Amino acid sequence: MEPAVSLAVCALLFLLWVRVKGLEFVLIHQRWVFVCLFLLPLSLIFDIYYYVRAWVVFKLSSAPRLHGQRVRDIQKQVREWKEQGSKTFMCTGRPGWLTVSLRVGKYKKTHKNIMINLMDILEVDTKKQIVRVEPLVTMGQVTALLTSIGWTLPVLPELDDLTVGGLIMGTGIESSSHKYGLFQHICTAYELVLADGSFVRCTPSENSDLFYAVPWSCGTLGFLVAAEIRIIPAKKYVKLRFEPVRGLEAICDKFARESQRPENHFVEGLLYSLDEAVIMTGVMTDEAEPSKLNSIGSYYKPWFFKHVENYLKANEGGLEYIPLRHYYHRHTRSIFWELQDIIPFGNNPIFRYLFGWMVPPKISLLKLTQGETLRKLYEQHHVVQDMLVPMKCLSQAVHTFHNDIHVYPIWLCPFILPSQPGLVHPKGDEAELYVDIGAYGEPRVKHFEARSCMRQLEKFVRSVHGFQMLYADCYMSREEFWEMFDGSLYHRLRERLGCQDAFPEVYDKICKAARH
């Protein structure tokens, strides 16, 4: 009770301070105060509401009964748009601030908003090893349900608030992707409402062109209304090994070797400088040594990336048993390492014990309250990028990241990229091992200028037949964009399905040079 009273008193003092200083000053220069006093409690309320709602809906089995009606309502909205003359492009009616992407698209204000209220798990079929879900189902919902009944997704991307729709229409990756590929590669069927209001189901054998074109299309081929995703048996723990490695060539060699070992269920690297990293490998297990059990997801525990760094500082490896769901969301509490820039003392033991149970603030609420001034500051002085490059180019890529933006830590996550049709595939005819290089934070390179530095980085990624995740700011021209991505199938389907007058091209939706 005492922390709640203290928080209320602090909130009153904060309001007085805001009255004197002005809200914009506080949001820019002392943002942690606003986040701690308002966004953390509000985020907790949101989480409780959505958790209870999802639990009740699943227990009552009401989602499958209502799903058909909701899809028909979407079809009705699309047909009404068509009857009214198709005057503007269509997009989902979900507010832009609710997405996990930091990009702020203005198209929601000019396009026809189609309301899509689809946020439930529809069915878990353990015989077929399939879960059928609606597009706004989050990874937090999925893990809460599946792990409780002994199942999991082969690829379960990190942050709780990532949605199935975003991971399909964009992309998703996790430390198991060296075995299973990207999130799209564990999906077995998509259900969509097309530009004419018709409903279609696509699989690798039924409407296969559409099935392979949907991933990375960012909702520009139709509205996703359901997806079927593979599930696999889960175990209680992840037996995780930590190994500090020094020297870039040794890091790249160790990371590549571990990524090719089939016995590793999980492979991940955290690069703390150009030549210092910790490589982690894990396997699922039902047995754990009690003395090595680490519930890293508990609110009072150190942030995961700081915990991992201790192995580097001690220059010795280690072994821990982490509960499966804690492992899946190991970077959630600190939003990888982004939260240290928002709440500088967030990893302090006192803060963790008193207020860690409210962490993290929801990314959507951070976006909603950042304001135009802060947004521009972030855009110019902050980097959030994931670049996917062939594993053979890792050393060259890390040097390029170091020289162009100099952001640490860097996240390294391997994945196998199958040779399949669509916007993203290897250069050759065979599957190839790639690595996701994630850079999140404030660049330390001298004279950083967002546009020129990012264009330089994008140029390198194109030169090695790599890809840029489309949730982030993209500075490429249209020609450069279609040099990076294979648009042959995508453009053919847009013409066949009548998408040119219904949805913007993916480039016009996500690239800064075209965004409106």
Q: What is the pLDDT of residues 108-164, one digit of tens each?
A: 888 999 999 899 999 999 999 999 999 999 998 999 899 999 999 999 998 888 999
Domain-terminating residue out of 333, 359, 376: 333
Contact 502, 90 (CB under 8 A): yes
Beta bridge partners of 257: none
Q: Is residue 463 in some structural domain? A: no
User: In the Cβ-directed half-sphere of 415, how many Cα atoms lie within 13 Å?
Assistant: 33
State whether residue 179 is helix, strand or coil. Answer: helix
Per-chain mean pLDDT for the chain: 90
Measured from the Cβ of residue 171, the count of other Cβ atoms closer than 10 Å reads: 24
Model pLDDT, residue 516: 45
Question: What CATH number is associated with residue 88?
Answer: 3.30.465.10
Question: What CATH number is associated with residue 278?
Answer: 3.30.70
Alpha carbon separation from 37 to 33, 41, 142, 341 (Å, rounded)? 6, 7, 29, 17
Distance in angstroms (rounded) separating the CA atoms of residues 242 and 335: 21
Q: Is residue 445 in some structural domain? A: no
Contact 435, 415 (CB under 8 A): yes
Q: Is residue 415 in some structural domain? A: no
Same domain (yes/no): 197, 107: yes
Contact 455, 462 (CB under 8 A): no
Domain-terminating residue out of 303, 333, 363: 333
Same domain (yes/no): 107, 192: yes
What are the tokens at 283?
A: 């396997």
Same domain (yes/no): 256, 302: yes
Distance in angstroms (rounded) separating the CA atoms of residues 173 and 452: 27
Same domain (yes/no): 99, 211: yes
Q: Is residue 352 in some structural domain? A: no
Same domain (yes/no): 138, 268: no
Q: In what order do the strands lie in the sheet with 187-193?
A: 121-125, 130-133, 223-230, 187-193, 199-202
Of 512, 390, 400, nearest in space to 450 by CA: 512
Q: Is residue 468 in some structural domain? A: no
The three state secondary structure string of 319-348 is EEEEEHHHHHCCCCCCCCCCHHHHCCCCCC
> 271 φ, ψ to 5°?
-100, 115
Same domain (yes/no): 132, 275: no
Same domain (yes/no): 265, 130: no
The three state secondary structure string of 36-66 is HHHHHHHHHHHHHHHHHHHHHHHHHCHHHHH
Domain hosting residue 118, numbered range = 63-233
DSSP-derived secondary structure for 67-112: HHHHHHHHHHHHHHHHHTT--S-EEE-S-GGGSSS----SGGGTSE
Q: Is residue 394 in some structural domain? A: no
CB burial of residue 361 (10 Å; 0-12, 13-18, 19+): buried
How many angstroms from the chain centroid is the CA of residue 67? 25
Same domain (yes/no): 311, 213: no
Higher pLDDT, 364 or 333: 333
Beta bridge partners of 123: 132
- State what percent of residues in the chain have pLDDT above 70: 93
What single letter denotes the amino acid at residue 395?
S
Same domain (yes/no): 187, 103: yes
State whether residue 381 is helix, strand or coil. Answer: helix
Distance in angstroms (rounded) separating the CA atoms of residues 51 and 121: 12
Higher pLDDT, 30 or 72: 72
Range name among 33-37, 248-252, 393-397 with the lowest pLDDT average? 33-37
Distance in angstroms (rounded) separating the CA atoms of residues 207 and 192: 11
Confidence of residue 29 (pLDDT cuts 50, 70, 90): low
Same domain (yes/no): 229, 154: yes
Domain-terminating residue out of 191, 208, 233: 233
Model pLDDT, residue 84: 92
Q: Is residue 382 in some structural domain? A: no
Model pLDDT, residue 448: 87
Distance in angstroms (rounded) separating the CA atoms of residues 239 and 447: 43
Number of domains making up the chain: 2
Contact 386, 437 (CB under 8 A): yes
Same domain (yes/no): 192, 75: yes
Same domain (yes/no): 183, 260: no
Q: Is residue 274 in some structural domain? A: yes
Range name among 51-55, 80-84, 263-267 with the lowest pLDDT average? 51-55
pLDDT in tens, 166-220: 999 999 999 999 999 999 999 999 999 999 999 999 999 999 999 999 999 999 9
